[in-house]
Structures are given as C-alpha cells and as structure tokens.
C-alpha cells in the first residue's frame, strides 16, 4: 500500500485512541515489515503504548526505559535505524521522532529483518508520523475539560508503569549482586570487580528510569515554552502573522520545574487565545492581527502567560467561553482576563497557580437519606414537628427520630444550625 494514500492516512488519524496504533501498524506494514511497534510521548497526558508481538522470551514486555534509551540517537525530527534492546533482546528497529507538534514523540518499529530501509520509504513513514502528531496538536488546541479525567488516568497509568519498572530494576540489581557475593567459584578480587560493574550498570539504568518518571509528571518551564511556541508557529505561519516571543530567562523562572497539568492547561489556553485572535476578529471589523506577542513567566505563585495582538481589539470573553477555556482553568484555580481596546488590539492574561486550590468542602447533606432530606427541608421552612408530620404523613415521634439522626449526621445541636446548612447546600 502506498503510504501517501490520503485515505490510509485519514484512517489512522481518525481512529479512536485504542485503535490508533493497530491502524498505524497496518499502514506502515507495506513500507517497513514489523512484528510490533511502541510509542512514547513525554507529555504528561500521553502514556506509553505497545502494539504487536514482543520479541522477549517468556512473555517479557518492552519497557519504557528501553524505548526512551533510543531518544538520544535521533535528531529533533528524524529517523534512526539499527539494533536496539527491546524486551531484553537485541533486535533491528526503526525509530522516528517528530518536532511537528510533540517534541520527543517517539515511535519504534520492531523489524522482521535487519537490512537497511531505503531512504524514500523512511521519508514516507516519517510523513505519516508527522501527520499523526500534528493532528494530536490540533486536538490539544480544543480546550475541552471533559477529557481531563481520562488523560489524568492515562498519565497515572504511564507513571505507574515507570515506577513498576524502577522496582523491577532494583530487584534485578540486588539479585545479581547477591548471586555474585554467594558465588564460591569467584575469588575476592573477581567478586569485587563484578559487583562494581553490576552496581554501576544498575545505577545508570535506575537514573535513566527515574528521570523518565519525572518527565511524565513535570516539565521545565523553558522546555514547555519552546514546545508551545513550535505549535504556535504552525498556526500562524500559514496566515503570515508574525510571532514575537517573550522568552523566559532566569528571572522569569525558565529553570523552574512545573507540574504537567499546569503546563498543559496554560499552553492549551494560550493556543485558544491565538485561535480566537485569528478567527473571531475579522469580518466587519475591517482587519485582522498581523502580529502576536506571547509571554511566559513563572514566579513563586504560579505561571502567567500573556497573548497580545495588534488586531481591531474586538475580542470578548464570549470567544473564550465558546472554547471553554475558563472551564479548563477552574479545576486548577486559574483565571483569564481579556483587555480589548478598539483599534489598538487585545491582551489576554492567563494565570495558573502552582499550588492547587483547596479541596472544596464535601456536601454534608450527602450523608442523609431521602426521608431525612424531606424532614430537613420542612424544618428549613420553619415548620414545627407537628406540621412536618402532617405534611409528610408520618407520626410526630417519627419526625423526632429523624431529626435526632439528622443532627447527629450533620454534627449540629440546634434546629437553627440544621436549617442554615439546608439553605447553604440547597436542600431548602
């Protein structure tokens, strides 16, 4: 199959997430025969995934660390082919990275033969990989909060896998050392030499895996800004709009390590602001922005991003409400400000605190049963026990019983306190 067949590319791009790798594998099979492939994206919202057969004996699986070890061999956006250890076995692979939208996005194909793949085929495979990662960047631009739970679970799964591998590496290193120390065929010098070699190797692998675990949940501010600006260039370049950057330096917290959810939420809000500037200010306003400035600053309180254009100054919060930006910022305690000056341009300010907001107090009424809620609602209306009994068609002693249970569950000692809680939490 020709990899440049747009229908085949569309099938991969439009696939539901669980089907993306299987369809990608099928699309690449003609150009590069392979038994399986693995994907690793160091964005906190994207987990490690494997599809196909593992080369390892006894069901051994490809690990995150094995795939991550290939990253230094690749250019920022390019292809590498050669022998690599996958599932503990050295096999021929082709590895691809992409700087189109997800710097560090890595795809590894486990080949069926070790003869070099022709350059023209590698170029076609790279093109399809770039299309897929560029599409993902477009999806990330849509600031939809309903996906937060799913992506958080995916990130947690990826991190759990990395932590599991850390434990397995610790166990393997200690087992090897113990075996060396118990080996009666080795003299002290040989045992010491082997133990040192094992320890150095284990330490190197543990550090690599620990760094990978950190990447899954955190990102350096300067790296996050660079990743953001690459995606913005792809948005603005085709429109002929100039992008000016307020690149963070040391004073702007460039070296600060930021939580992944803060970085991704702020980045998505910035991209939404750029899209709004380009798409929501044309028509009757007479002109569009020709230049957009994006700034990025981190201080002790949080991350502050600004988007300033030289357009007609016609943006309003409605544009951002339509893109559901505030809904995405709210869970992190973030906020958005829009300052539009007619004929001068618009400045959008996005602030996301580094410390998450306090957990909202749980609704105390959740502990009450259906009948207890009915009694509480009547009490909150100021009715006496006799009136409540008549209204609910129960005995007055039953009302007293329910009130005693209500007071106990709510931790209150008077009718007034119970009524106040009822009003506060919407039971009245």
> What is the per-residue pLDDT for 213?
53
Length of the chain: 428
What pLDDT, on the 0 to 100 scale, is given for residue 58? Answer: 59
Residue burial 385-417, b: 16+ Cβ < 10 Å; e: rest: beebbeebebeeeebeebbebbeebbebeebee
Which phi and psi (to 5°) does residue 349 adopt?
-115, 125
Query: Distance between CA atoms of 332 and 356, rounded to whole angstroms?
Result: 6
Tens of pLDDT along the chain (428 residues) come to 454 466 777 788 877 777 888 888 888 888 899 999 988 875 544 567 888 887 766 556 788 778 888 888 887 658 899 999 888 889 999 999 876 555 567 899 999 888 999 988 888 888 888 888 777 665 554 444 444 444 444 444 445 555 555 566 666 666 777 777 777 777 878 777 877 777 776 666 666 555 555 555 677 888 889 888 888 887 888 888 999 999 888 888 888 888 877 888 898 899 889 988 888 876 545 577 899 999 999 987 889 999 999 988 888 888 888 787 887 788 788 889 999 888 889 999 999 998 765 555 567 888 888 888 889 989 988 899 999 999 898 999 999 999 999 998 888 888 888 888 888 777 66
Strand-strand pairing, 34-40 and 49-52: antiparallel
Q: Specify whether the CB–CB gap between 65 and 165 falls below 8 A.
A: yes
Reference 372, options 412, 401, 414; nearest CA is 401
Question: What are residue 334's phi and psi, to 5 degrees?
Answer: -80, 165
Which has the closest alpha carbon to 338: 328, 350, 348?
A: 348
Distance CA 4, CA 128 (A): 8
CA dist 293 → 134, 247, 329 (Å): 23, 10, 21
The C-alpha atoms of residue 365 and residue 255 are separated, in whole angstroms, by: 46
Q: Which of 15, 237, 264, 42 is nearest to 142 (CA)?
A: 264
pLDDT value, residue 171: 65
Residues 6+ apart with CB under 8 A from 125: 3, 28, 31, 32, 79, 94, 96
Strands 89-98 and 345-353: unpaired
Q: Hey, what are 250's tokens?
A: 């040391």
The crossing angle, in degrees rounded to 10, of helices 260-279 and 221-236 is 20
pLDDT at 47: 60
CA–CA distance, 285 with 282 (Å, rounded to integer):
6
Q: Is the pTM of this model over 0.75?
A: no
CA atoms 139, 140, 141, 144: torsion sign: positive
Distance between CA atoms of 96 and 334, rounded to whole angstroms? 36
pLDDT of residue 388: 92
DSSP labels for 92-119?
Answer: EEEEEEE-SSSTTEEEEEEES--SPPPH
């Amino acid at each position: 199959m020709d990899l440049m067949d747009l229908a085949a590319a569309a099938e991969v791009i439009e696939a539901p997430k669980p089907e993306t790798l299987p369809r990608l594998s099928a699309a690449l099979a003609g150009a590069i025969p392979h038994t399986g492939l693995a994907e690793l994206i160091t964005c906190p919202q994207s987990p490690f995934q494997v599809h196909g057969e593992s080369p390892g004996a006894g069901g051994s699986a490809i690990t995150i660390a094995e795939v991550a070890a290939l990253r230094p061999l690749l250019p920022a956006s390019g292809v590498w082919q050669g022998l690599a250890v996958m599932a503990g076995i050295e096999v021929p692979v082709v590895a691809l990275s992409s700087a189109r939208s997800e710097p560090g996005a890595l795809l590894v194909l486990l080949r069926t033969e070790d003869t070099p793949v022709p350059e023209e085929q590698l170029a076609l495979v790279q093109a399809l990989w770039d299309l897929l990662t560029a599409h993902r960047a477009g999806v990330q631009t849509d600031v939809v909060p309903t996906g937060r739970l799913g992506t958080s679970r995916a990130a947690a799964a990826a991190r759990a896998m990395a932590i599991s591998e850390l434990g397995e590496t610790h166990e393997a290193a200690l087992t090897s050392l113990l075996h060396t120390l118990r080996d009666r065929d080795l003299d002290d010098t040989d045992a010491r030499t082997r133990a040192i070699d094992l320890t150095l190797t284990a330490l190197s692998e543990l550090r690599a895996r620990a760094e990978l675990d950190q990447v899954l949940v955190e990102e350096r501010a300067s790296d996050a800004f660079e990743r953001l600006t690459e995606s913005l260039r792809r948005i603005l370049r085709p429109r002929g709009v100039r992008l000016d950057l307020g690149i963070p330096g040391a004073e702007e917290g460039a070296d600060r390590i930021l939580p992944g959810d803060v970085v991704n939420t702020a980045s998505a809000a910035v991209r939404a602001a750029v899209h709004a500037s380009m798409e929501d200010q044309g028509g009757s306003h007479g002109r569009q922005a020709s230049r957009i400035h994006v700034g990025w600053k981190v201080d002790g309180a949080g991350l502050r991003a600004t988007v300033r254009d030289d357009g007609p100054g016609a943006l309003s919060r409605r544009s951002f409400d339509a893109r559901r930006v505030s809904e995405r910022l709210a869970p992190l305690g973030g906020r958005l400000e829009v300052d539009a000056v007619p004929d001068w341009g618009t400045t959008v300010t996005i602030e996301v605190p580094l410390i998450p907001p306090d957990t909202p107090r749980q609704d105390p009424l959740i502990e009450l049963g259906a009948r207890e809620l009915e009694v509480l609602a009547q009490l909150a209306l100021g009715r006496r026990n006799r009136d409540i009994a008549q209204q609910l068609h129960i005995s007055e002693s039953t009302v007293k019983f329910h009130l005693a249970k209500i007071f106990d569950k709510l931790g209150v000692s008077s009718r007034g306190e119970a009524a106040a809680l009822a009003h506060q939490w919407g039971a009245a």
